[in-house]
Amino acid sequence: MSGTSGFETIWWQSGTVYQVYPRSFQDTDGDGVGDLPGITARLDYLAWLGVDAVWISPFYRSPMADFGYDVADYCDVDPLFGTLADFDALIAEAHRRKLKVILDFVPNHSSIEHPWFAESRASRESPKRDWYIWRDAAPDGGLPNNWLSNFGGPAWTRDEATGQYYYHAFLPEQPDLNWRNPDVRAAMHDVLRFWLERGVDGFRVDVIWHLIKDEGFRDNPENADFEAHQAGINRFQQVYSCDRPEVLDVIAGMRAVLRAYGERVLIGEIYLPIERLVAYYGPGLTGADLPFNFQLIQTPWRADAVAALVEEYEAALPQGGWPNWVLGNHDQPRIAARIGEAQARIAAMLLLTLRGTPTLYYGDEIGLGRVPVPPERAQDPWGRNEPGHGRDPARTPMQWEDAPHAGFSTGTPWLPQSADAARRNVDEMRDDSRSILTLYRRLLALRRDHPALSVGDYRGMQLPPDLAGDVLAFERIAEGETLRILLNFGSAERNLALEDGSAWTVLLSTHAGRSGETAQRNICLEPDEGFILGALSV
């Protein structure tokens, strides 16, 4: 059994996070792009849904080469999204509803248009030269090393003015900052303080495992598992360009800034296997509060695979390290697109019953899938560089009601909406007891009402081999309460023996109309059905 029940928990442990991609949540000025007043206008919805915190993807001043993940001013709001006054209103209104606000902090790289970079590139003697990563060509005149960009092509671009190359792990418009330079750290800590002073409750830190690069800029080794012509960046193991041990010290520095403000959360975006991921809790838990755990996105959708994953992750967590789970985000295919609508309901129940902080991605609660984006409307620079990698289909505007553009905007939305938007929207689904939105809301309510679900211990249950491929079973346990979760990943009916003979009641089923049923010796899961069972008191 794993867990820490009995400990005092804090909001980002017991609570749930909801990610808003601001371009796509709610537009209020008719330009087809969402904005901060739009998020404020929808806070009542988030409170109704029952989440505890909202994480907002970047809204800072930006030329939008990577839709805001290229920041030209870390301390201002891009006019596309509104003003600082709009931000202040958003946070005040969120707090009035007891919702926390988490910002997206993008410290690994700035925009090429940031004044720091303009100064840095101006001359080799510039006081800010060392704020970015400049290297000479290799002795043979080639690129400084073999590092590749995550968005395709080399990670080095030659700057004519000074004849050196600058490093960019992503687009050439996103030069990497040099976090080995103490002045960069100090400037970025000031950015954190700027937003903490405005009341933010934490940060999701973009590509945090990238912040420190190998001091000697060694070539990344070849990856034997990939065919050179098909793998892109995966041709090489990213061992020198990121995930360097010194990064933990940088993260501890950020965490210390946050701690001075009380219970603020630091979430780190980290795409690494479990054994590397958990290192980011840092020595003595001085690292990220929540190193983002993307394993549910990357693991095959089978009950036995997910059971093994949960066991492995729970076992790898350091003492006191708090777990977390997520099904999707603005960089990944939508969960409903990946596993289908029926299983998306199982995924919702899994996400909200596992031990650890869940993060929901906007639109998943209405079952949004992959929205086709015709080539002439494609937006994502990654997809344009490397066809097939486009993230647009998972970033389409939220669907609120049966109205023009599903109530998202009075203008033409920047990306299309789903063909079934007249039906698949909040307004149509909120009073429908069978909708996935209702399921999400009930799950969030149960999680709030039952400490066993939000902060209880986790205990995996062994099932007979003929069931284990399709059914995931576990318990969540807190003082005085044990809940049992049974999830059918398959499309056949499954009968389970409840060996101990105790009596259970269905607190919630993914299928409408079964709540309140009781079971003693056996329980029957319909295809694609999940249960949260509570002990029946007699």
Residues labelled as active-site residues: 206, 269
Task: Provide the CB-side half-sphere exposure for 470 (13 A, CA).
Answer: 15
Residue number, 170 or 325, with CB nearest to ligand GLC: 170
Distance, CA of 106 to CA of 68 (rounded, Å): 9
Q: Least distance in Å: CB of 170 to ligand GLC?
A: 4
Angle at 119 between CA 118 and CA 125, to 5 degrees: 135
Measured from each CB, the residue nearest to ligand GLC is 69
State the DSSP H helix or E strand holding residue 344, giving kind and residue range, or none if neither: helix 341-351
Which residues are CB-contacts of 443 (< 8 A; sequence separation ≥ 6)? Answer: 348, 349, 352, 353, 508
Show the binding pattern over residues 168-207: x = contacts ligand GLC (CB under 6 A), - = does not: --x-----------------------------------xx
Q: Least distance in Å: CB of 488 to ligand GLC?
A: 32
Residue number, 71 or 77, with CB nearest to ligand GLC: 71
State the DSSP H helix or E strand holding residue 119, giving kind and residue range, or none if neither: helix 115-122
Distance, CA of 135 to CA of 124 (rounded, Å): 11
Query: Considering only residues 66, 365, 392, 457, which one is a binding residue for ligand GLC as defined by CB under 6 A?
Result: 66
Show the binding pattern over residues 89-128: x = contacts ligand GLC (CB under 6 A), - = does not: -----------------x----------------------
Angle at 514 between CA 513 and CA 516, to 5 degrees: 110
Burial 471-480 (b: 16+ CB within 10 A, else e): bbbbbbbbee
Is 69 near ligand GLC (CB under 6 A)?
A: yes
Q: What is the DSSP letter of 24?
A: G
How many CB atoms are closer than 10 A to CB 419?
10
Residue number, 155 or 207, with CB nearest to ligand GLC: 207
Show the binding pattern over residues 275-314: x = contacts ligand GLC (CB under 6 A), - = does not: ----------------------------------------
Is 488 in contact with 528 (CB distance < 8 Å)? Answer: yes
Query: Considering only residues 121, 129, 255, 330, which one is a binding residue for ligand GLC as defined by CB under 6 A?
Result: 330
Q: Least distance in Å: CB of 256 to ligand GLC?
A: 24
Q: Least distance in Å: CB of 380 to ligand GLC?
A: 9
Residue number, 93 or 331, with CB nearest to ligand GLC: 331
Q: Least distance in Å: CB of 273 to ligand GLC?
A: 17
Query: Considering only residues 331, 481, 517, 526, which one is a binding residue for ligand GLC as defined by CB under 6 A?
Result: 331
Q: What is the DSSP letter of 465?
A: H
E strand residue ranges, 145-279? 156-159, 164-167, 202-205, 265-268
Residue number, 373 or 506, with CB nearest to ligand GLC: 373
Is 426 in contact with 456 (CB distance < 8 Å)? Answer: no
Give whole-number Cα distances, 316 to 137, 310, 489, in Å.
42, 10, 25
Is 401 near ligand GLC (CB under 6 A)?
A: no
Residue number, 174 or 343, with CB nearest to ligand GLC: 174
Range 450-489, binding ligand GLC (CB under 6 A): none
88 token code pair: 């202040």
# of chain residues touching ligand GLC (CB under 6 A): 9
Residue number, 207 or 335, with CB nearest to ligand GLC: 207
Is 247 near ligand GLC (CB under 6 A)?
A: no
Q: Least distance in Å: CB of 103 to ligand GLC?
A: 13
Backbone φ and ψ of 273, nearest 5°? -65, 160
Q: Least distance in Å: CB of 58 to ligand GLC?
A: 9
Q: Which residues bind ligand GLC (CB under 6 A)?
A: 66, 69, 106, 170, 206-207, 269, 330-331
